[in-house]
Amino acid sequence: MFVLHDQPQDLDYITRSLDALAKQFREAQPGVEAMPTRQKALSLVRWLRSHKLTGMDDPATNYRNLRNCFIGHALSDPDHPSLPIISSAIFCAVAERLGITSSCCSFPGHVHASVFAPPGQTLDGDDTEPGGELEVMFLDPYGSDSEVEDLRSRLAETGLPNTSDVFLSASPVPVIVQRTAQNIRTTFRWAQELPDDDPAAVRLKQLRAGHPDLNLEAAFYGAMWSQLLMRQTNSIQWDIHLNAFLNRFALTWSEDAWIVEKYLVPLYDAFMAAQPLPRHRVGWENVREILDMLHNLDRRQPTVNRRYTREIEEHVHYRIGQVFRHRRYGYIGVINGWAAGPMALPTPHYLSGDDAEEEGLGEDVASSQQLPPRRSTTYYTCLRPSVDRLRVAQENIEIVTDPSLIPESLFFLAGKFFKRFDRETCRFVSNIKEMYPDD
């Protein structure tokens, strides 16, 4: 849902698609309702694979592509690429619509689908003794048309025989969601290690709509949400994921404060109430503290910056909307704020520690208190990919006049501050006139 970009493949679309697949299978398999469970399950997995609705082409190259992590993308893409966990989920969802009891099972390294016999019957339709254990079979919709009969022995080879029941049992939905989130996080890490201009990096991040870098950032953020919403608050992992989430939320997604307040605060309160030794949590550890900081920023009246004095004109060389290259680091950005000194600029919760320190502003940027500048100069805030308020000293700005040098991702972000882009002047037209009326 974080990467749809107004495309129609939402949750309702997914439901309709799975309903349609079940209907198509029934029409393609006359008499399917009378088949015993094993025959019905094998017929379904073979039908799905024959229509390339599971698995992917060239996994050696494409396995970690971001699009493989999304069931909506797999159902709507003509090639239907998906990871084993998504392929198994598609099979299980269609199977349930056909009256088959089926679930994903979190086998280490490769999720499979389990199919259970009806109560009182075997998988082949024979009667069983009352109260007996349900017979189960395993399938690999991602890579095989046949029943997987050696899954238990494969598990023993991993060195985890004492926990085999966990990995061969039906996995709860939250476990499958968390595992999917982990796949997204893995793709994110892979992408971070590749140069931006590497074709493999673009392929890794590419979805049907949106800029690849923004898609990856949004997917990673969505994965961080799911790790908190789908995990018990008494897990130590919940606390670890909370710290990382709050940092990214406050720096990049502060407009989601209302969602955090509605869904995350109750979980945080439950987490705090369960702590045996309560302690005061500050900064990125404390959901309420981060929200209070953001609410205080929202309530602050914007400073109006005018250019009607000679002193301002002499000291502030550049204007809102101008595109520049950073002299030291080489990135391309757009000016979206200025002041003859850092005190009037937006509070630096938007900045990472590295970005603040590069401009000589000290290390403590998580606090709402600003440190005095180390030198007297003019400062600007700028928009750059993944950051909307980065502070830059005037001496590090080199104006760009060639529109072809502007990264495509900047155009996806610019609507927060600008109306449009003027190619003749190579400048974004300001949408924040109430703060900078003369620009």
Answer for the pair 176, 104: CB distance below 8 angstroms, yes or no: yes
CA angle 359, 360, 363 (to 5 degrees): 105
Are both 155 and 222 inside the same structural domain? no
Q: Is there a domain that residue 438 lies in?
A: no
Looking at the structure of the chain, the number of domains it has is 3
Spatial distance between the Cα atoms of 225 and 66, rounded to a whole number of angstroms: 17
Q: Is there a domain that residue 435 lies in?
A: no
Spatial distance between the Cα atoms of 158 and 66, rounded to a whole number of angstroms: 27
Beta strand 112-116 with 427-430 is: unpaired
Q: Is there a domain that residue 18 lies in?
A: yes
Are both 244 and 137 inside the same structural domain? no
Structure confidence at residue 13 (pLDDT): 95
Between residues 339 and 38, which one has the greater pLDDT? 38
Are both 369 and 252 inside the same structural domain? no
Q: Taking 80 as the threshold, does the pLDDT of residue 59 lie above it? A: yes
Q: Is there a domain that residue 439 lies in?
A: no
Are both 168 and 185 inside the same structural domain? no
Are both 66 and 129 inside the same structural domain? yes
Average pLDDT, the chain: 86
Domain of residue 382, residue span? 314-430
Are both 159 and 181 inside the same structural domain? no
Of 153, 173, 193, the residue that ends a domain is 173
Are both 283 and 152 inside the same structural domain? no
Are both 290 and 344 inside the same structural domain? no
Are both 19 and 95 inside the same structural domain? yes
Q: How confident is the model at residue 407 (pLDDT cuts 50, 70, 90)?
A: confident
Are both 232 and 265 inside the same structural domain? yes
Q: Is there a domain that residue 306 lies in?
A: no
Spatial distance between the Cα atoms of 425 and 60, rounded to a whole number of angstroms: 46
Q: Is there a domain that residue 308 lies in?
A: no
Q: How confident is the model at residue 56 (pLDDT cuts 50, 70, 90)?
A: very high
Of 239, 264, 299, the residue that ends a domain is 299
Are both 95 and 37 inside the same structural domain? yes
- The pLDDT of 375-389, averaged and rounded, is 75
Answer for the pair 341, 378: CB distance below 8 angstroms, yes or no: yes
Spatial distance between the Cα atoms of 42 and 44, rounded to a whole number of angstroms: 5
Q: Is there a domain that residue 56 lies in?
A: yes
Reported as a single tens digit per residue, the pLDDT across 176-231 is: 999 999 999 999 999 988 887 788 888 899 898 888 888 999 999 999 999 999 99
Of 299, 322, 350, the residue that ends a domain is 299
Q: Is there a domain that residue 323 lies in?
A: yes
Reported as a single tens digit per residue, the pLDDT across 348-375 is: 343 444 444 344 443 333 333 344 444 4
Are both 276 and 133 inside the same structural domain? no
230: closest CA among 279, 269, 180? 180
pTM of the model: 0.81
Q: How confident is the model at residue 345 (pLDDT cuts 50, 70, 90)?
A: low
Q: Where are the alpha helices (DSSP H) in 158-286?
A: 164-168, 173-192, 199-205, 212-229, 236-252, 257-259, 265-273
